Amino acid sequence: MKKSFAEEERDDVPYLRCLADRKGLLIGTAVNDWALRSGDAPYQQILQKQFNVVVAENACKWGSLRPSRSVFDFTDADRIQQLAEDNKQKFRGHCLVWHNWNGNPEWLNRFHGSAQEKQALLEEHIGTVVRHFGGKIFAWDVVNEALEDQQPAPSCPALRKSIWSDIPDFIDLAFRRAHEAAPPSTQLFYNDYNVASCRGWSKPKADAMLHLVRGMLERGVPIHGVGFQLHTNTHANTSMLMDGIRENVRRYADLGIVVHMTEVDVPGGQWDHGKFHPLPADKWTDADRATQADIYGELLKICVEEPNVKAFLSWGFTDKYTWLPEDCPLPWDRQYGEKPAVKAMRRALEA
């Protein structure tokens, strides 16, 4: 008989998923399509043993699902869903609506139909995709990154210009359509970056998201949670960041809204005017790794201590497969060695 994860783990080095299970918390990672297709055995072993929830990094986005307007291709997404099922992991859906040209197929980026035609296209996509997975996906990022980075008047949230902008109330529409197509137990999320802390430089956008969600609730829109992406870095003021996140989490608790930390990574480099300046592996110091570990551990501590935070997902788990390949933002290194961040995460879950 196959052993359970709890029976299989060594007593002195418990798996993250077993510790999280004891706390009633989901801990997971984005799954890299290429790593699965390449048959990378160490990748799949860590993925299976350490996490109780996964999200597809790209396989559930328009660019993967819609090679043409008339064709849906669920091959990659179904592979990840089946792997999650085999590993007894929950599967999180990401994402149904996104502005990003890189995540959309070329035919969609060139689409210049009327607002009515765009609405019909959006409703068709959401309905088809959500019904395809049904109860196999427990939560969906329905709308991703719709807020502008600059929010001069957060009480009137400014939205990005995108292909969907000329659809009246497209965010409300997307949530209502997803709700119609999904099983009643499916949780529907709005997901964004630079919104986790309601202190310091991120406060205007964080406040704008709160106003966006509050307005949706007042209009009866079926939204259940928000995703804090949390692409941060080792230069963050850790104390201020954690205090601001905790305060913000509690604002959503007051609204009855669940929080997931959805895309956590902690590089050593920084963004400047839209360009990322990485810290290569040979430039990382022990102090950098300790700071990275502290941030991972403190974020997970918030998940453990705040009742409405239900999930923690990193945007990948190994530096071998990361959207920031010139940096080292994840808890495992390129050779699958555990960094101090993994120990810090265990410590947070054991507290």
Tell me the β-bridge partners of 332.
318, 338
Mean pLDDT of 45-70: 97
Confidence of residue 291 (pLDDT cuts 50, 70, 90): very high
> pTM for the complete prediction?
0.95
Q: How far apart are CA 25 and CA 15, in angstroms?
A: 13
Q: Is the pLDDT of residue 71 over 70?
A: yes
Task: Give the CATH number of the domain where residue 106 resides.
Answer: 3.20.20.80
Count of domains for the chain? 1
Would you say how long the chain is, in residues? 351
- SS3 sequence, the chain? CCCCHHHHCECCECCHHHHHHHHCCEEEEEECHHHHHCCCHHHHHHHHHHCCEEEECCCCCHHHHCCECCECCCHHHHHHHHHHHHCCCEEEEEEEEECCHHHCCHHHHCCCCCHHHHHHHHHHHHHHHHHHHHHHCCEEEEEECCECCCCCCCCCCCECCCCCCCCCCHHHHHHHHHHHHCCCCCEEEEEECCCCCCCHHHHHHHHHHHHHHHHHHHCCCCCCEEEECCECCCCCCHHHHHHHHHHHHHHHHHCCCEEEEEEEECCCCEEECCEEECCCHHHCCHHHHHHHHHHHHHHHHHHHHCCCEEEEEECCCECCCCCCCCCCCCCECCCCCECHHHHHHHHHHHC
7, 148, 263, 338: which one is catalytic?
263
- Judge contact between 338 and 332, C-beta under 8 A: yes
Biggest CA–CA distance in the chain, Å, is 61
Q: Are 204 and 154 in contact (CB under 8 A)?
A: yes
Percent of the chain with pLDDT over 70: 97
Average pLDDT over every residue of 283-300: 98
Active-site position among 145, 247, 298, 326? 145
- CB atoms closer than 10 angstroms to residue 259: 25
| Residue 81 predicted with pLDDT over 90 | yes
Residues 30, 313: contact at Cβ < 8 Å? yes
263 is catalytic: yes
> What is the tens place of the pLDDT at every residue in 39-55?
999 999 999 999 999 99
Band of pLDDT at residue 273, cut at 50, 70 and 90: confident
CA-only gyration radius of the chain, Å: 20
CA atoms of 21 and 304, how far apart (whole Å): 11
Which tens digit of pLDDT belongs to each residue from 142-199? 999 999 999 999 999 999 999 999 999 999 999 999 999 999 999 999 999 999 999 9
13, pLDDT greater than 90: no
Q: What is the mean pLDDT of residues 242-265?
A: 99
Q: Which of 135, 136, 140, 121 is nearest to 72 (CA)?
A: 121
**89 lies in which domain range?**
5-350
Buried/exposed code over 182-191 (b: 16+ C-beta within 10 A; e: otherwise): beeebbbbbb
For residue range 309-340, what is the model confidence (pLDDT) as tens digits?
999 999 999 999 999 999 999 999 999 999 99
Distance, CA of 291 to chain centre:
22
136 within 8 A of 91, measured Cβ to Cβ: yes
**302 vs 10: which has the higher pLDDT:** 302
Token digits of residue 251 = 């604002």
> Average pLDDT of 197-218?
98
Q: What is the model's pLDDT at position 152?
A: 95
The pLDDT > 90 percentage for the chain reads 93
b/e for 160-177, b at 16 or more Cβ within 10 A? Answer: eebbbeebeebbbbbbbb
